[in-house]
Amino acid sequence: MSINIELRHLRYFIAVAEELHFGRAAERLNISQPPLSQQIQALETSIKAQLLARNNRNVSLTPAGNMFLKEAYQILAQVDAAATKAARMQQGELGEISIGFTSTTPFMRKVTLSLRQFRERYPDVSIHMHQMNTKQQIAPLQTGRVLNS
């Protein structure tokens, strides 16, 4: 069973569910009411469940609508979190770094201070340290990748 739900459908549904009024939800979303109503109907058709009970005066959530609302909040939160993580990774604030070092490197004050400052500034970047002699460092320098030795 393939269901084609777009994020905008979730946002539209959430707006209607929070407002319990199509006109106010449409205004909040900066769209007109007829397309909003059509999109909600298309969503309900797609998932084969009535999410909203409507009459001329009232809009209310059905039990399926209540459950769907909770899930829609979670889905949008996950999408936002994924986008934030991707941006942080792109900016170098998240991920991992591998560093090759010689046996004397840990005794160099500037190196240990720099690593400490990096760890404080970027706590979500994992640092992998690999002790290597000078000859072992040549290939990783040429390829740009430090591998476990």
0.75 surpassed by pTM = no
Amino acid at 89: M
132-149 b/e with 16+ CB inside 10 Å = b? beeeebeebeeeeebeee
Sorted by where each begins, the domain ranges of the chain are 7-89, 94-136
Instruction: Quote the pLDDT of residue 109.
Output: 86
Fold of 7-89: Arc Repressor Mutant, subunit A (1.10.10)
Indicate if the pLDDT at residue 21 is higher than 60: yes
Of residues 126 and 68, the one with the higher pLDDT is: 68
The model's confidence at residue 1, banded by pLDDT at 50, 70 and 90, is low
pLDDT tens column, 83-141: 999 999 999 899 888 888 888 877 788 888 998 999 999 999 998 888 888 888 888 87
Q: Report the distance separating Cα 139 and Cα 132, nearest Å.
A: 11
How many angstroms from the chain centroid is the CA of residue 71? Answer: 15
Out of 16-20, 22-26, 41-45, 109-113, pick the least confident. Answer: 109-113
Indicate if the pLDDT at residue 149 is higher than 50: no
Q: Report the distance separating Cα 102 and Cα 130, nearest Å.
A: 8
Instruction: Quote the pLDDT of residue 88.
Output: 92
Contact yes or no for 140/100 (Cβ under 8 A): yes
The CATH architecture one would assign to domain 94-136 is 2-Layer Sandwich (3.30)
Backbone angles phi, psi at 122, to 5 degrees: -125, 70
